[in-house]
Structures are given as structure tokens and as C-alpha cells.
Amino acid sequence: MNFDSKHTIPRFLFIIIPMTIFGLLIIGKAAYEMLVQSDYWETVRQRLATQQKDIPALRGNIYSADGQLMVGSMPVFDLRMDFVIKDQDSVAERKLRIRRDTLWRNEADSFCISLAELFPKHTAQEYKNMIEKGRREQTKRNFLIVRGVSYIDYKEIMRRPYARHGHIATGFYAEEIPQRQKPYGSMAQRTLGSLMTTNDSARNGLELAFDSILRGTPGKKHREKVRQKWMDKTDVEPVDGLDIITTIDVGMQDAAEKILTRKLKEINAEVGVVVLMEVKTGDVKAIVNMTRIAPGVYAEVKNNAITDLWEPGSTFKTASMMVALEDGVITRADGVDVGNGVYMMHGRPMKDHNWRKGGYGRRISVDECLMFSSNVGVSRIIDEHYAKNPEKYVDGLYREGVGVPFDLPFPGVGKPYVRRPKPDGSNWSKTALPWMSIGYETQIPPIYTVTFYNAIANNGCMVKPRFVREIQQDGQTVKTFPVEVVKQRICKPSTLRDIHEILERVVNDPTGLGKRAGCKQFKVCGKTGTAQVADEHGSYHGSPARYMVSFAGFYPSEDPKYSCVVCIKKSGLPASGGGQAGPVFSELAQYVMAKGVFRSAEEAADSTSVFERPAAPVLPDTIEGKVPDVKGLGARDAVGLMEAQGLKVKLHGQGRVKSQSIPAGANAVKDQTVTLELKN
């Protein structure tokens, strides 16, 4: 067959030429859009980008050392109404408007009655008037109806008339808001920290110190129209924050708060601090900071134990005597004449606590200098041996770890101030050394005082206070924080043995001033402290005078497990570290060693707080079509399991599920109601 080019080629050209022209038009259009219209499309891109919204990540929880939830993110819900229909001229949008109007006419009264029943802030008629006004104006997409609704009430309202038809059909929806909750109320408030109410950013405490770990990474979403319906589309999934496991023991923390607050009220004190530490690890088991905010009312206002620089007073005498013993300038066989309790130190009187009674009137031993907390005795020893070389004394303090700063996971942490004489002597006087030796002219946060005494208890090894033990994700450890050694040895074993024995005599010898810190069941080692402190104007001559009374020590003496410091700031006499701080130390020590005055952790919760243990990481196995066993679970998990089987849930009470009206294993009948009894 011959190819008829005369007729065939024109036919191909008839097809090819239009296709070529069409292709060139497409290329030209693309070039035009890319080059000429680039600014327009960049504007579109930016507009779409700005329409993206964050999907909040769930903030990680903070747990106690014994596994109790201390701070957690529990979602609440804001109930809102979307009144805006974007394009009311389109057929689909007009149909949606008609459907919404019909549903509202038919079910508005029932819906508003449900709102008033569940959220009685307004009457049913008030809710109806509020919503109808918004429907008439049609200007708001996120009109707020009720704020801060619990998960259980949210699930209930979504079952009720009108709301059960869903967001598209009604415009009614719930916005999930993660909320920080503390089952134990104000317990360890300044240590755990808090969030800003405006933007949920961390404000202080562990919340701020571990903010990058707890906060997680938010996701991204946008709204787009799919089959005439606006829907949220997730672009990037959020990554929830990690959990941190603290060293705090709920029972010990609660006992420390209650014991200290009771004493503060008794003596009308201004501020009180307790820090309880585990000897071997440095784990802070309890930390309390109470400030008087009204007569007889105390609350945690700031983390005084960590941020405040206080003159330690007589608890510092232990460090001074350790320097002298370590340097070999004295032995326990030596003594000092304290006379009538008043001794002139370079033209300034140094006084013992009993100077008005004539002092001790004799020569007292090195042991008795600490047992009696003699200002004259300690200052005379230090001044006699270090007046010509005060740098050596200060070097000895730093050698012991006193004044050595260490990092703590808190903003605003106070750094100890232990003055060192300048070569030209411009910051030093003859009276500086004797007063420094008894705890004045030096400023140390209470956390440093307890760390020093903890080192004595820990065979001379000083460890840094630890507040967080590990970081977890879904119950699995992802990072641990090891014990950190600040100084491997603060003194020679012989010096340590001498100091240990003297501190034991302070409490257990009948003549020791620390006997009220003692316990009948075991021996305590420690040192009292009573120091006059400056008033708010920096004066020591105000009336009444202000005092810092304290006790620092450890127990049991034979094999120390815990160290503790108690500091109380008060005005007026009497002021006694042994008589006022000592009993707080003793009562807390007995609680700790008895391992629990409270029968359970729930008893430590504030009366205004609902205590609910965190749900178990792994929920019970369920069988399709069968009623699950939800006893022991929290309300949210129990409801979720029941609803997964098509059951409706009615809740009574608060806390964890104690009983269920339909037994586990029974056939699950769709829409059948099961009643769960909850109890704290």
C-alpha cells in the first residue's frame, strides 16, 4: 500500500500545530506566573502560612520520688459557637444555614436547659439569649459560651440535644486547653514552680529550670475545605513533653510543711525554712519555704532556702572549729577561758548567750565551745591562731567546701559569700575575723548549710543537692542525673571523727544546747544557731530585734541517713535555735525514721484539691463486645474504655473507680448506661 503523503501529512499538521500552540501557551502562562505574578503568589503563600495554627504539645508531668503525680497537664475545654458561614450565596452554604436554623428551632430549649444543668453560672434563658444574639450578628467564629469545662462534663454536653449533631451541623464545638494541675495543692510550690497565666510560659522553679524538656514541641494545623466542609488538617504532629522524676518524697514534704508551719504560728515568726536531704545521694526529700502573709497565715512566696543570703549564725561555728582542728592549732584536749561571758575583742565586746547571768565563769573545753555555742570561746580560738594570717582561716573554709558555689537547677540561686581579705587590707578589720568565726559577716543560703552538714554525715564527701533524679518518656527512662561530688574529702578522717563526736554531744549530752533536737529512739548530731539579723533598713538596732534561729544536723548518729536544716526568722525574744528550731528538727526526724505518720499519700493532699493517682501506663485488656473492668482507674480512662464498647457512662463522685453497675465480662449492649462510683 502506497503512503499518500499529499493527503496524510496535512492531517497530522492539523493536529500537531494546535497541540504545539497549546503547549507554548502553557509554558508562557507558567513563565508569566513565575516572573510577573511572583509577588502575588508570595502574598498568597504568606497568607496561607499565617493561617496555620499551633497544635499545643502536652506538657510533661512532674512526679515525686515515690511516684506520686505532683504537677500534671489535665485538659479542660472551652465551649464555643461558630456563627460564621463564609459564603452564604453558594448552594451548599445556604443549605447548611437552613439546617442550622432548623436544628436550633427544634432543639435550642433542650440544649440550653442542658447547659444550665451542667454549668449553672447562667439560666437556660440567659444561655439562649446569649447564643441567639450571636446568631443574629453572625460575626464571630469562636464565641465563648463556657470556659474551663472538665473532660467528664465535656463528654456529657456533647451527648445532649443540638450538640450531638456535631460542629458542622451546629457550629457548636469544644476547644481543648491543656491545664496545669497540682493534686497536692500548694505543696513544694516554689520548688516545683508555676506557669504564667497569660501565655503558659514557665515562671519559676523546676517548671522553668526544665522548661525545654517539659514543654515538648507544638505541631501545626490548618483549615481547608473538603467536600464543602471545613476541616482541620494536621501538617506536623505535636511532640509531647517529657516527664521529670524529682527527689521529693510526698510524705516527708507534707510532714515538713505541717510541722514547720505549726511552729511558725506558735511563735509568730516571719519566715521559716526546712531542707531535708538524703546523705549518700544529696537527694532533697523535702524543701519548705514559708512566709507570713497575714496574721497566722503562711504560704510559699519565694524559694528562701535557695535564693536568700542569710548570716548562718552559730551553725557556722562547726566550720570554724573544723578549720582549727584540721590545721592542728588546737586539739580536743585544749580549752579557753570564757570568763563572765563578755570578752573585749579589739575594742568591741564579744558576748555569750548567758552573759547577763555571769557567763560560765571558767575555762571550757573545745567540745564545750560547740556544746554551749560559746561566742567567746570560738572567737578567741580563731582570733588567737589566725589574726596574723586570716587568709589561712578563709582558705580552710574553702577547703571544707564552705563558700564553694555549685550550680542548682533554679533561676536566681544565691551564691555563698565568704569574704577573703584583700592584700591591702581595705576590706578587713581586726574585728572581722572573730565575728566571722561565729557566723556573722558571711552570707550563705540555707541549702549550702545543710550541704556542709551532709558532708560531715557522708564520711567527709560533699555531694551537690539533687532535685531531679531522671527524665522519662512514656514511663521509660531517657536520662538519669547521677550523684555529683563537690569535694571528695572536706577534712582528714581524724578531724571528721572529732567533729562528729562533738556534734553528737551537742544534742545528747545533758548540758548541750541542742538537746531539744534529740530523739529517744536514735541519736542525733547537730548544732544550734541563734543570730541577730538586720532589719529591712540594714540596721541591727531596731526594736524589737530580729533573729535567725536555726538547727542543722543529721541522724541517726551511728549510720547517718538524712541531714536537715531548720531556719526561722522572727522578731523579739525569746530567740533560741535549740529551743525553737530544734523541736521542728526532732519531730521531722522522728517522722522520717518511723517511715510514715500518714497512712497513705492521699492524706497529704490539700482539702481543696482532688487527688487522683496518674493512670497506669498500660490499661487493662478489653474484649470486643464485653464490659471492661475499670475498677481502680481514673475517670477519664474508665470513660474511654466504656465508650469504646458503645456504652454510655454516668459518674458519681470523684477520684478513682470503686465499683461499676454492670459487671466486667458481661455483654456490652450499645447505648446501655453503666454507672461508675468514684471515690478519692
Specify whether 577 is located in the same domain as 532.
yes
Contacts of 655-660 with CB under 8 Å at 24 or more apart are 655/610, 655/611, 655/612, 655/679, 655/680, 656/612, 656/613, 656/632, 656/680, 657/630, 657/631, 657/632, 657/633, 658/631, 659/631, 660/627, 660/629, 660/630, 660/631
Find where cell 564545750 sits.
368
The model's pLDDT over 14-23, given as tens digits with 9 standing for 90+, comes to: 677 777 887 7
Residue 520 and residue 459 share a domain: yes
**pLDDT value at position 599?**
37
Q: What is the pLDDT of residue 3?
A: 52
Q: Are residues 486 and 374 in the same domain?
A: yes
pLDDT at 600: 40
Better-predicted residue by pLDDT, 680 or 384: 384
- Among residues 603, 630, 657, which one ends one of the domains? 603
- The C-alpha angle with vertex 656 and arms to 650 and 658, in degrees rounded to 5, equals 75
For residue 362, the model assigns a pLDDT of: 94
Q: Residue 337 above 50 pLDDT? A: yes
**One domain for residues 409 and 540:** yes
pTM for the whole thing? Answer: 0.74
Which of 127-141, 159-173, 578-592, 632-646 ranks highest by mean pLDDT?
A: 578-592
What span, in angstroms and rounded, lies between the C-alpha atoms of 180 and 199? 12
In DSSP terms, which residues pair with 459 in a beta bridge? none
Q: Is 134 a residue whose pLDDT tops 50?
A: yes
- Of 603, 629, 648, the position where a domain reaches its end is 603
Q: Is the pLDDT of residue 277 over 80?
A: yes
Domain-embedded: residue 439: yes
Say yes or no to pLDDT of 263 above 50.
yes
User: Quick check: 61 pLDDT over 80?
Assistant: yes
Q: State pLDDT tens for residues 213-235.
A: 998 888 888 777 665 556 677 78
d(CA 196, CA 214): 15
Whether residue 395 lies inside any domain: the answer is yes
More confident position, 299 or 49:
299
408 has a pLDDT exceeding 50: yes
What pLDDT is stored for residue 8 in this prediction? 61
Q: Work out how many domains the chain is built from and give that number.
A: 3
| CATH number for 553 | 3.40.710.10
498 or 534: which leads in pLDDT: 498
Look at residue 458 and tell me if it is in a domain: yes
Q: What's the pLDDT score for residue 609?
A: 39
DSSP letters spanning 168-181: HHH-EEEEEEEEEE
Q: Which residue has better confidence, 677 or 371?
A: 371
pLDDT at 616: 34
Contact yes or no for 376/344 (Cβ under 8 A): no
218 belongs to a structural domain? no
pLDDT at residue 542 in the model? 65
What mean pLDDT, rounded, does the chain reach? 86
Report, as an integer, the average pLDDT of 415-443: 92
Containing domain of residue 637, as a range? 615-680
CB 611 within 8 A of CB 605: yes
Let me know whether 578 and 642 are in one domain. Answer: no
Q: Which amino acid is at 550?
A: S
If you write DSSP's letter for every residue of 149-161 in order, what string do you get?
A: E-HHHHHHHTTST
Of 243 and 605, the structure prediction assigns the larger pLDDT to 243
Q: Is the pLDDT of residue 36 over 70?
A: no
Check residue 43 and give its pLDDT.
61
Is residue 665 domain-shared with residue 593, that is, in the same domain?
Answer: no
Closest CA to 517 of 553, 569, 547, 558: 553
Residue 320 lies in a domain: yes
Q: Is 430 left (phi over 0), alpha (psi -120 to 50) or beta?
A: alpha
pLDDT tens, residue by residue, 342-390: 999 999 999 999 999 999 999 999 999 999 999 999 999 999 999 999 9
- Indicate the burial class of 582 (C-beta count within 10 angstroms; 0-12, 13-18, 19 or more): buried
The last residue of one of the domains, among 583, 603, 623, is: 603
Q: Could you report the per-residue pLDDT of 288-310, keeping only the tens digit for each?
A: 999 999 999 999 999 999 999 99
Three-class SS state of 123: coil
Regarding whether 619 and 566 lie in a shared domain, the answer is no
State the pLDDT confidence band at 494, using cuts at 50, 70 and 90: very high
Q: Do 455 and 554 lie in a common domain? A: yes
With 50 as the cut, is the pLDDT of residue 602 above it?
no
- Grid cell of 431 as nine digits: 574585728
Element containing residue 652 per DSSP (H, E)? strand 648-653
pLDDT classification of 588: cutoffs 50, 70, 90: very high
Q: Helix or strand or coil: residue 81?
A: strand
Residue with the bigger pLDDT between 545 and 464: it is 464
CATH number at residue 622: 3.30.10.20
The single-letter code of the amino acid at 69 is L
274 and 343 in a single domain? The answer is yes
- The pLDDT of residue 23 is 77
Of 596 and 363, more confident: 363
Whether pLDDT at 636 is above 90: no
Res 33 pLDDT > 80: no
Q: Are 589 and 637 found together in one domain? A: no
The verdict on residue 128 lying in a domain is: no
Predicted confidence (pLDDT) per residue in 548-560, tens digit:
999 999 999 999 9
pLDDT (0 to 100) of residue 619: 42
Specify if 137 maps to a domain. Answer: no
Which residue's entry shows cell 499551633? 54
What's the maximum distance between 2 C-alpha atoms anywhere in the chain? 142
Dist. CA 534–CA 545, nearest whole Å = 8
What is the mean pLDDT of the segment spanning 573-593? 94
Examine residue 391 and state whether it is found in any structural domain, yes or no: yes
* Better-predicted residue by pLDDT, 44 or 201: 201
510 and 620 housed in the same domain: no
Query: Do 401 and 489 have their domain in common?
Result: yes
pLDDT(615) > 50 = no
